[in-house]
């Protein structure tokens, strides 16, 4: 495999069948550093012809990769994890430059990438079938087999981590992949792919096609030789994917974000609660699918909570994301900047502004916005119902447990929720009643590769991570073996 993709100096290319290639059209598009608005790279602007080549390569590679022993698939994943750790500094810095996230957060992400590959490297040899206790004189087996070619469409908020979440279980299961990184943030997965050859990943097992949703994502979804689609992104795009995948009856898993309630009762640890509220909505600039962007606060502590949260939010350090003191960097793109700014302006007409609400005056370049808190928000307001995907928080008062539950569940989304209380009985009642795929108690945002991740309602379906993550890439085949030597006797 030719090493033509580098951090700087040499243009990045698409990866198809183990070769670095230009797009069929020869076109390229720029990738921007959101902290400076400078172009830092160009990548191929691929189209349907390139997708066809990538799918064909993945289909051919599946015939051998699916027959590779689980031990060898696991070893490849372990070597991939080792490669991530060896190139830790390069990947973390590139992730920061491409996304705008603070370098400390990028380092956490890259560590999690390595952990994800290690986890599924170990799980590859733990995939097992089942013996079914049938009443006949027979042996009934359930076998687990790889689905086939997986199309994987990655979001821009955690580019390398979300790629690992999809690649690792697919490879452990014996699937091959055609991966489309987000057009805003394709660089780190391409950089990691430079090492596929040296770790022994066969050509065509993972193919990376850069481009846009209409010209690359849609052809992957529609392609008849792609057996499964894994998508993380907006609910609007998820609905389009469901419609397009229906034509070929593909397996689909969707993680579509949310409007997660972060619920604070009066008996919670107050200081921990304030930190949990701020971290829940402002980490990664609020560009988090599970962001606790609806902060529900019991009326007894409401005024004190808003005041304390506002005071701490004003101390959040915005700045160049490569500086280690920075807590919030820029948003990922001009498009996302304009979207979040529009919601900041909308919020001023729907609620009261506690802090933020605009662009930092000291920053003339980069897609920076202030951490923004609105309070006295009605749960029917647009800023409380629509996913903003930025550092904009809606603080909503509630009267009691029943009122909190009513407000929390009154959303089209159901990805995550958090409950803060010292009363374990109350907390567990809330856990059981909340309509969300992930519920945290006295914490916000912990995510472990060992535990399933996914949502209810319009937050999507299917699960990533844990055993559930690999199950999504497996088919179940029933095998019946007759042990009766006598004829069936039907005639």
Q: How far apart are CA 478 and CA 408, in angstroms?
A: 42
* DSSP label at residue 376: S
For 35-87, list the strands marked E by DSSP. 38-44
Residues in contact with 454: Cβ distance below 8 Å, sequence separation at least 6, in sequence order: 253, 255, 415, 437, 438, 460, 461, 462, 463, 464, 468
Q: From the CB of residue 315, how many other CB atoms can be counted at a distance below 10 Å?
A: 9
Query: Strands 438-441 and 392-398, how do they pair?
Result: unpaired
Sign for the pseudo-dihedral over CA of 393, 367, 258, 270: negative
Side-chain half-sphere CA neighbours of 41 within 13 A = 29
Instruction: Give the relative orientation of helices 401-409 and 424-433 as an angle to the nearest 10 degrees.
Output: 30
Q: How far apart are CA 335 and CA 340, in angstroms?
A: 9
Alpha helices, DSSP H only, in 234-385? 235-246, 270-282, 302-313, 334-350, 382-385
Q: From the CB of residue 362, how many other CB atoms can be counted at a distance below 10 Å?
A: 8
Catalytic residue among 191, 289, 298, 472: 289
Q: How far apart are CA 193 and CA 220, in angstroms?
A: 20
- What is the DSSP secondary-structure string of 386-417? S---SSEEEEEEESSHHHHHHHHH-SSEESEE
Catalytic residue among 255, 287, 298, 472: 255
Element (H, E) at 20: strand 19-21
Q: How far apart are CA 274 and CA 312, in angstroms?
A: 8
Q: How far apart are CA 69 and CA 309, in angstroms?
A: 53
Q: Annotated catalytic, 214?
A: no
Q: How far apart are CA 166 and CA 65, in angstroms?
A: 17
- What is the DSSP secondary-structure string of 206-234? EEE--S-IIIIIHHHHH-TT--EEEEES-
Query: Strands 206-208 and 149-153, how do they pair?
Result: unpaired
- What is the DSSP secondary-structure string of 157-200? SSHHHHHHHHHHHHHHHT-EEEEE--TTS-HHHHHHHTTTTTTT
Residue 343, class by beta-carbon neighbours within 10 Å (0-12 exposed, 13-18 middle, 19+ buried)? buried
C-alpha 75 chain-centroid distance? 25
Q: Annotated catalytic, 393?
A: no
Q: Looking at the annotation, which residues are catalytic?
A: 255, 289
């Amino acid at each position: 495999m030719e090493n033509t993709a580098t951090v700087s100096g040499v243009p990045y290319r698409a990866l198809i069948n183990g070769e670095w290639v230009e797009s069929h059209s020869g076109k390229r598009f720029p990738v921007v550093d959101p902290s400076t608005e400078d172009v830092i790279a160009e990548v191929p602007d691929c189209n349907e012809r390139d997708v066809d080549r990538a799918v064909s390569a993945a289909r051919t590679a599946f015939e051998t990769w699916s027959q590779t022993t689980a031990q060898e698939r696991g070893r490849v994943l372990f070597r991939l994890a080792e490669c991530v750790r060896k190139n830790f500094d390069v990947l973390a810095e590139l992730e920061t430059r491409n996304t705008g996230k603070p370098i400390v957060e990028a380092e956490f992400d890259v560590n999690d990438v390595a952990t994800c590959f290690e986890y599924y490297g170990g799980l590859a040899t733990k995939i097992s079938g089942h013996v079914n206790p049938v009443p006949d004189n027979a042996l009934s087996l359930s076998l687990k087999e790889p689905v086939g070619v997986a199309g994987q469409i990655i979001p821009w908020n955690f580019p390398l981590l979300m790629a690992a979440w999809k690649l690792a279980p697919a490879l452990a299961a014996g699937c091959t992949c055609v991966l489309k990184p987000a057009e805003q943030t394709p660089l780190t997965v391409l950089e990691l792919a430079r090492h596929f050859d040296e770790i022994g990943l066969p050509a065509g097992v993972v193919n990376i096609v850069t481009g846009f949703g209409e010209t690359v994502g849609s052809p992957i979804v529609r392609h008849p030789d792609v057996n499964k689609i894994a998508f993380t992104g907006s609910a609007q795009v998820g609905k389009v994917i469901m419609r397009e995948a229906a034509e070929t009856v593909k397996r689909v898993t969707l993680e579509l974000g949310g409007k997660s309630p972060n619920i604070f009762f009066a008996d919670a640890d107050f200081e921990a609660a304030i930190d949990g509220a701020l971290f829940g909505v402002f980490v990664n600039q609020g560009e988090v699918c599970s962001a606790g962007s609806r902060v529900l606060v019991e009326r007894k502590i409401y005024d004190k909570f808003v005041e304390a949260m506002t005071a701490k939010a004003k101390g959040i350090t915005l700045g160049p994301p490569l500086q280690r003191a920075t807590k919030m960097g820029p948003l990922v793109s001009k498009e996302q900047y304009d979207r979040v700014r529009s919601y900041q302006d909308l919020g001023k007409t729907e609620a009261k502004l506690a802090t933020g609400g605009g662009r930092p005056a000291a920053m003339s370049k980069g897609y920076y916005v202030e951490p923004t808190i609105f309070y006295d928000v009605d749960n029917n307001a647009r800023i409380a119902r629509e996913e903003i995907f930025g550092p904009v928080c809606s603080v909503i008062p509630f009267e009691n447990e029943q009122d909190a539950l009513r407000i929390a569940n009154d959303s089209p989304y159901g990805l995550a929720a958090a409950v803060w209380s010292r009363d374990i009985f109350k907390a567990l009642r809330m856990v059981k009643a909340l309509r969300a795929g992930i519920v945290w108690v006295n914490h916000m945002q912990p995510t472990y590769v060992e535990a399933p991740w996914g949502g209810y309602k319009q937050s999507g379906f299917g699960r990533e991570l844990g055993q559930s993550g690999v199950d999504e890439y497996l088919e179940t085949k029933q095998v019946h073996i007759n042990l009766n030597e006598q004829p069936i006797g039907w005639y």
